[in-house]
Amino acid sequence: MQKKIFLVIGSPGSGKTSVCNTLEIPKLLHFSIGEMYRNIAEKNTRLGAIIKHKIVIGQIVPIDIAKEVISHFLKSNCDIIIIDGFPRDMKQAKMFSNLIEKSNCVLSILIEILVDETKAFERISSRNRGIDDRKELFKDRLVLFKKERNEIIDYYIKQNKYISINGNLDFEIVTSNLKKIILSK
């Protein structure tokens, strides 16, 4: 049986990690690419220094590092994998497609959590999860997300693998809507 993979993207502050963390679905593993990168960045290693530098300046982590982290996720012992915050650009989307072809996994769908900029900024302003949650980085991260978003969305629409949900709704409703999509695929 192939593992089902769900990719969840959204602007910074869209709530993707928070919503995914609360899903209660048997045999599901959730990986936040952002949390993983922040954890690695805190370590005093060469890899940690590279990732920390990219996070601090609001840039995308190099493709070889993303590939290594994602490959690790795909080897997990579960039936359903949710990866939030990925892909961030077309290089990552194509790399992911190549990894999927060589694995015992299938991409079910990419889910985008849509949220107003004002609401996203309020969320970022009220949390302190990591080095990339600084208010001054929010606009840079948002610009980068928007720059890459359309090409990524088009890529998955062409594969009939895209759906969006309204992230402006109450947290419980967004979580319920995401869970419904996952269980229906």
Tokens 């961030």 belong to which residue? 88
Confidence at residue 135, expressed as pLDDT on a 0 to 100 scale? 66
Confidence bin at 126 (pLDDT 50/70/90): confident
Which domains, ranges and CATH numbers included, belong to the chain?
A: 3-33+63-184 (3.40.50.300)
Confidence at residue 134, expressed as pLDDT on a 0 to 100 scale? 61
What digits encode the pLDDT tens for the residues 5-40? 999 999 988 999 999 999 999 999 999 998 899 889
Confidence at residue 97, expressed as pLDDT on a 0 to 100 scale? 96
Confidence at residue 38, expressed as pLDDT on a 0 to 100 scale? 87
Rounded Cα distance between 73 and 51, Å, is 18
Mean pLDDT computed over 143-149: 88
Rounded Cα distance between 14 and 113, Å, is 6
| φ/ψ (deg, to 5) at 165 | -130, 155
pTM: 0.89
Confidence at residue 86, expressed as pLDDT on a 0 to 100 scale? 95
175: enclosing H helix or E strand: helix 171-184
